[in-house]
Amino acid sequence: MDAFASEQPPVRHILSSSQFDRAFLDYLYTLTTTIRRFDKSREGLNYLRSLLPHKRAMLYFTQPSTRTFLSFQSACHILGITASEIRDASTSSERKGESVEDSLRTFSSYVDLIIMRSPIARLCERIATMLDETPRPVPIINAGSGPDEHPTQALLDIYTLARSLREMGGIEGKTICMVGDLKRGRTVRSLARLLTNYDGVKILFASPPSFRIADDLRQDLSASRFDFEETTDFAGAIAAADAIYMTRIQDEYEGDNAGAQDYHRYHLRAEHLPMLKADCAILHPLPRRDELDPRIDQDPRAKYWRQERNGMWVRVALLTILFGIDDRVQLPDL
């Protein structure tokens, strides 16, 4: 496998799913699958841990997180990176009135990478631009920026989709149904944008009318002549889908929750399983509430637990690219 880094400009920050093209995605997924082979032996894992023990990362998560936090922390540990964390701005000097910019500049004095989740849309871009003008321009990874973007989730979603649809010829030409709070769901926004890299894909956005996708996403998808449809016909959409991406209501954000009383009509229940295509992949970024019936967990089409684990390995691969050591994890067999 050719090292991507030698052909393309190195990846500095991970801020938005719009920054990735198809060549990068293909490279990242091959790299991820290669790295997973190191997990098969003690020697392999020891080797991975020997790669970045001289690096430190800060996990700055001022919004709740289970999977994204733990998978990034685990990804750091797998590569030997020391990870420190702030999980609540009220325990940092922001409580004393320090600006978020000053707080993050302070972290950059101590670490080589900042992975951040915050309720503020586009904060990551602001911080990355600010740090780029300082003598310590440490890379920023956006691990969720308010209702705006969650690019690494989209990267792991596509990896899971590609693996799940492998025997059906991959993602190209497939119909993907996204369900839920499409207006405020950042994973939906990042994933929809990333899917424009695959030819012939159609997205069916199924939601109550008040949870339809936001205007900017609609305009971007239309401008790129991407095939999509917005519908309230949940049953029709899931029956036509090669993959279903369920999401929960994002009611931690301000805004209209008026569609919430209709939401139960967009729940995927075990009773729906006979309507789905035989090979349909069911994904969910998790956490779930009632929109995804736990009785579906046993069905072979349920891919969300795998999706969770895939996330850790995609993040390991991203870290190797970010630190420029991806050429050291291309070993054939261990």
Residues that bind ligand NCD (CB under 6 A): 67-68, 144, 150, 153, 186-187, 247-248, 285-287
Quick one: 187 or 207, whose CB is closer to ligand NCD?
Answer: 187
What SS3 state is found at 92?
coil
Quick one: 44 or 147, whose CB is closer to ligand NCD?
Answer: 147
Least separation in angstroms between residue 58's CB and ligand NCD is 18
- Decide: 259 and 233 in contact? Cβ < 8 Å: no
Sheet of strand 82-86: strand arrangement = 82-86, 56-61, 113-118, 140-145
State how beta strands 113-118 and 82-86 pair. Answer: unpaired
Quick one: 44 or 151, whose CB is closer to ligand NCD?
Answer: 151
Instruction: In whole angstroms, give the CA distance from residue 56 to residue 240.
Output: 46
Least separation in angstroms between residue 267's CB and ligand NCD is 15
The CA distances from residue 11 to 84, 120, 240, in Å, are 23, 23, 37
Quick one: 73 or 187, whose CB is closer to ligand NCD?
Answer: 187
Quick one: 24 or 253, whose CB is closer to ligand NCD?
Answer: 253
Least separation in angstroms between residue 248's CB and ligand NCD is 5
* Burial of residue 183, with CB atoms counted within 10 A of its CB: 0-12 exposed, 13-18 middle, 19 or more buried: buried
**Residue 310 parent element (H or E):** helix 304-322
- Decide: 266 and 210 in contact? Cβ < 8 Å: no
Least separation in angstroms between residue 195's CB and ligand NCD is 17
Least separation in angstroms between residue 13's CB and ligand NCD is 19
Least separation in angstroms between residue 292's CB and ligand NCD is 11
* Sequence-ordered list of residues with C-beta below 8 angstroms from that of 280, at least 6 positions apart, any chain: 238, 241, 242, 243, 244, 301
Quick one: 212 or 248, whose CB is closer to ligand NCD?
Answer: 248
